[in-house]
Amino acid sequence: MGLVPTIFRKYSSTLMNLPPEAYLWFKTLHIIGVVVWFAGLFYLVRLFIYHVEAKELEPTLRDAFYQQYSLMERRLANIITTPGMILTISMALALLYLQPSWLLQPWMQVKLLFVLSLLLYHFFCYKIMNKLAINDFNWSGRQLRALNELPTLILVLVVMLVVFKNQFPTGAATWFIVCLVIFMAASIQFYARWRAKRLEKNSNGEINAG
């Protein structure tokens, strides 16, 4: 008789008890959760970068900045980023509960793999945060900037999957967007490297002048 009809019969009585606008509310809250989650992830890793680069400061200033960045990271992760993740996942489960047939579609299966990778990234950020709190983290600012591009790539791919679904484009426009994302990531890395060299040059000039 088929899997999809069986699933719909199983949940039909429960779905009838939900108000007609339930789907729209779940979708709205899901989108809000995604925005909050990604905003938190982007800024969290940016704080990691500032935290790591504070090691160049004088010891007294460095310790003060370390404590301040650790506090900001913890608050951002626990008050904004993780609640955004919980809202995103819970509303996604609610949407799948209303539309279980989506689980049979290839675009949704691929999307869920990207979501799983984003969850792993989320908890990896917690691992970095805990190591930074005890000064046991050896990554450079450049490496963290590269890491910060990963959720951008995941976001682009997930949005494209949601929009195009099983008609995911593979033409020139798609490759243009991919190249544009790579170019933006490379530009950020180049600017960060140029800025670091400029600051180092200015510091050396002040030392020589003194």
Q: What is the full DSSP assignment across 62-92? A: HHHHHHHHHHHHHHIIIIIIHHHHHHHHHHH
Q: Which two tokens stand for residue 29?
A: 């809250």
Predicted pLDDT of residue 68? 94
pLDDT per residue as tens digits for the range 140-167 = 988 998 899 899 889 988 998 998 888 8
Give the mean pLDDT of 62-68. Answer: 91
Q: Which residue has the tokens 């400061």?
A: 57
pTM: 0.77
As a whole-number percent, the residues of the chain with pLDDT over 70 amount to 78
What whole-number distance in Å separates Cα of residue 11 and Cα of residue 27? Answer: 19
pLDDT per residue as tens digits for the range 77-93 = 999 999 999 999 999 99
Give the mean pLDDT of 105-124. Answer: 96
Predicted pLDDT of residue 209? 56
With a CB cutoff of 8 Å and minimum separation 6, the contacts of 55 are: 62
Single out the residue of 109, 106, 101, 95 nearest to residue 9, CA to CA.
101
Single out the residue of 32, 126, 129, 29 nearest to residue 82, CA to CA.
126
Reported as type and span, the H/E element at residue 152 is helix 150-164
**DSSP, res 57:** S
